[in-house]
């Protein structure tokens, strides 16, 4: 099968009605800076939809995933809080300073780059597209996401003749897996290679691990993901994250590296041995492979983590060249703007850079790339998607109107205990499943949920 038969679907997570700044992610410096501040859910969702519209109009396949229901009343009840919804929320808010409520109300599921790792049918041993749902075991609030993520993916990719969705890895943090945020698929005329980044291993010495922040992705988890994806050994390269990058706030590899097609852009602190990684990739991908290493003098890692140039979306445009969808913060930062201008000016694969405002997501630690899961598909597989997954202008108009009807303009930490907010969110998500032609997927919609 020719590699030109694949088109990469950008599957974006729709920001939920309870988008908030809980500040519960160690190592996520943006989340920590904005902890407890008022969020703007309506703006957040509209920013995400505007980015989807931009990508769609660039001629790139664009899809949408529904958000998780938050606060998760089912989770709070599983933690022993009983009674009516009002009582459950009130009791959870009164325990440990409301920490458990903040966990159950986290907005982190909006970043679907952490939803799963994906290998296309052209690369796998059985000729199907494989998904491995991320267990996100390194963080309590994110570890809650896997069951509903699996249910949603099984709903969207229901045709098992084309797709196979694997459950999240068992084994807890020792097999911690953070999904596609630590995965990059590269391809040239020599074939495809999957780069799987990891930050820690069970046999590490203390000196090998980051000193300030935890490394989330385990080597053992990365190897298990590669096996489940049914990837031949020659298609996989494992690369250790640089401890200094993690300590600077690069909790996932996509904070300091991004790749597409035959091009990889990485900061020198993205991987422990970036030059060695480039050599291994060049040996497998051939002379068509291009790599650009950005050193600390050109772009300090602190600036890169604050402005997220490497968390841009690197897209294959209809022209065959690459386009970059970068956060607006990069346009305002001279070092980032200079880097992107140079990439376009060089005789390289990048054709254009477009800047987008996703400020509400950025303030919680997620740039444009965090908001999407990349799913390379053949035309036949694109046609096999269930529901209204692929967006067009009409669906985006409908979703914008839905957001304006249901989302609050502002949300503060105390609002998470408001039962009215939970009811508003459930009403909104119930309507959304109808708009997207998904049927019931949420626990509150009843026990007979899709994929359950």
- Name the catalytic one among 34, 370, 381, 406: 370
DSSP character string of 270-292: TBTTHHHHHHHHHHHH-TT-EEE
- Name the catalytic one among 68, 252, 267, 406: 252
Cα angle: 42, vertex 47, 48; to 5 degrees: 100
- Name the catalytic one among 8, 47, 145, 178: 178
Q: Cβ-count burial of 1 within 10 angstroms (0-12 exposed, 13-18 middle, 19+ buried)? A: exposed
Active site residue 178: yes
- Contact predicate 130/224, CB 8 Å: no
Terminal Cα distance for the chain, rounded: 34
User: SS3 of 9, please?
Assistant: strand
Cβ neighbours of residue 40 closer than 8 Å, sequence gap 6 or more: 19, 360, 409, 410, 411
Active site residue 268: no
Cβ neighbours of residue 147 closer than 8 Å, sequence gap 6 or more: none
Q: Which of 84, 78, 66, 76 is closest to 101 using CA atoms?
A: 76
3-state secondary structure 68-133: CCCCCHHHHHHCCCCCCHHHHHHHHHCCHHHHHHHHHCCCHHHCHHHCEEEECCCCCCCCCEEEEE
Looking at residue 249, the DSSP 8-state letter turns out to be: T
Whether omega for the bond prior to residue 71 falls within 30 degrees of 0, making it cis, is yes
Looking at residue 310, the DSSP 8-state letter turns out to be: G
Pull the structure tokens for residue 95.
């325990």
Cα angle: 393, vertex 358, 355; to 5 degrees: 80
Distances (CA, A) of 53 to 59, 61, 299, 395: 10, 10, 30, 10
Active site residue 370: yes
Residues annotated as catalytic are 178, 252, 370
């Amino acid at each position: 099968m020719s590699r030109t038969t694949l088109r990469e679907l950008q599957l974006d997570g729709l920001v939920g009605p309870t988008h908030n700044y809980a500040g519960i992610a160690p190592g996520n410096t943006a989340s920590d800076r904005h902890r407890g501040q008022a969020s703007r859910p309506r703006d957040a969702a509209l920013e995400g939809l505007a980015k989807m519209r931009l990508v769609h109009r660039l001629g790139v396949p664009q899809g949408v995933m529904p958000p998780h229901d938050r606060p998760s009343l089912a989770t709070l009840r599983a933690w022993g809080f009983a009674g009516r919804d009002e009582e459950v929320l009130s009791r959870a808010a009164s325990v440990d300073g409301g920490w458990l409520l903040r966990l159950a109300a986290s907005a982190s599921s909006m970043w679907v780059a952490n939803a799963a790792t994906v290998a296309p049918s052209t690369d796998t041993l059985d000729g199907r597209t494989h998904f491995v749902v991320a267990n996100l075991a390194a963080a309590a609030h994110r570890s809650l996401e896997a069951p509903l993520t699996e249910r949603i993916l099984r709903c969207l990719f229901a045709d098992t003749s084309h797709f196979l969705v694997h459950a999240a890895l068992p084994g807890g943090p020792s097999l911690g897996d953070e999904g596609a945020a630590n995965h990059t698929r590269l391809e040239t005329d020599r074939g495809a290679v999957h780069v799987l980044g990891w930050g820690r291993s069970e046999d590490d010495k203390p000196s090998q691990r980051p000193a300030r922040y935890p490394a989330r992705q385990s080597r053992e988890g990365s190897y298990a993901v590669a096996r489940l994806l049914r990837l031949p050994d020659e298609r996989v390269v494992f690369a250790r994250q640089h401890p200094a990058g993690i300590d600077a706030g690069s909790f996932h590899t996509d904070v300091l590296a991004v790749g597409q097609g035959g091009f990889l852009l990485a900061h020198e602190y993205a991987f422990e041995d970036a030059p060695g990684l480039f050599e291994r990739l060049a040996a497998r991908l051939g002379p068509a492979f291009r790599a650009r290493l950005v050193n600390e003098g050109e772009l300090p890692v602190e600036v890169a983590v604050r402005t997220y140039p490497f968390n841009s979306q690197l897209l294959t445009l209809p022209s065959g060249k690459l386009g970059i969808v970068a956060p607006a913060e990069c346009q305002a930062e001279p070092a980032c703007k200079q880097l992107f201008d140079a990439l376009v000016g060089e005789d390289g694969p990048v054709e254009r850079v477009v800047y987008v405002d996703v400020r509400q997501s950025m303030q919680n630690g997620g740039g444009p790339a965090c908001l999407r899961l990349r799913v390379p598909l053949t035309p036949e597989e694109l046609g096999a998607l269930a529901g209204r997954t692929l967006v067009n202008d009409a669906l985006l108009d409908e979703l914008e109107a839905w957001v304006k009807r249901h989302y609050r303009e502002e949300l503060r930490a105390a609002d998470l205990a408001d039962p009215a907010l939970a009811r508003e969110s459930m009403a909104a998500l119930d309507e959304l499943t109808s708009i997207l032609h998904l049927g019931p997927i949420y626990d509150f919609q009843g026990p007979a949920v899709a994929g359950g």
